[in-house]
Chains A and B, each alone.
Chain A
Amino acid sequence: MTINDIKNLLNATVVSGHQLLDTEVHNACGSDMMSDVLAFVKDQSVLLTGLVNSQVVRTAEMMDMVCIIFVRGKEPSEEIINLAADRGIVLMKTSLRMFPACGILYQAGLRG
């Protein structure tokens, strides 16, 4: 599916990276612990998280991820938005909580 499909499935708002919505993605992970993302994730291209700080973008950058989705209605700061834009990473936010957001994407074919 594309990042735009994810946006529609999660009723999400795109915060930055509108020009990258056609990017194809096949797998995702959900975590609030960046240490674990760095330890256990392999080739996942989408990160769902309720953690909002610039290290989320840094972690996604290190892992070659292309899209970050902030769950539970979390609002990224200007600093986070600018960093993601500079790194070519799509930022989205959804009011859904982590579990349903992951469930919806899994049901739609995204894998872990």
Chain B
Amino acid sequence: MKLHYEVPGDDFTRAGDASGDVKRRLKRLGFPPDVIRRAAIAIYEGEINMVIHAGGGTADIEIMPDRITAVLSDNGPGIPDVEKAMQEGWSTAPDNIRALGFGAGMGLPNIRKYSDSLNIDTAVGKGTTLTITVLANPAQQ
């Protein structure tokens, strides 16, 4: 199953539409609760990042029996220092975003924590593409 979502950059309240929809679909498909939660959180953090930093983007999700793959792409400013961005607590989010409960520098670290693989393809001035994979049954892979 392939799903495509537009993540609007100008409406913070809609961040979570894509991950919420994916979560409900995975539930209906009978994936284990832990797998559903990990995939939903990773995609949700990605959505939040695209809204905060990149003016929105797209989310393409592929659901296979053994894995969920999410490709999150934006045309934002890119990440100048990926190593720093992966450090817990390091954030470039402005104060108005912190006031909304985000921007604690946990976004990318959380995505890495909850996924089985994370690939970051980013270029300053061009944008960022995250490829996130969550395995449906990691112990057996």
B65 at the interface (CB under 8 A from A): no
A38 at the interface (CB under 8 A from B): yes
Q: Which residues of A contact B103 (CB under 8 A)?
A: 35
Contact, CB under 8 Å: B40 / A51 = no
- Interface size range on A against B: 20 to 34
The one of B15, B37, B110 that contacts A39, using a Cβ cutoff of 8 Å:
B110
Q: Which residues of A contact B19 (CB under 8 A)?
A: 58, 62
- Interface size range on B against A: 20 to 34
Main secondary structure of the interface of A (DSSP, over half): helix
Q: Which residues of A contact B33 (CB under 8 A)?
A: 64
Given contacts A38-B44, A39-B109, A39-B110, contact A56 B101 (CB under 8 A): yes
Which of chain B's residues has its CB closest to A57's CB?
A: B16
In the complex the two chains form, what is the Cα distance from A1 to B118 in whole Å? 39
Given contacts A34-B101, A39-B113, A51-B101, contact A58 B107 (CB under 8 A): no
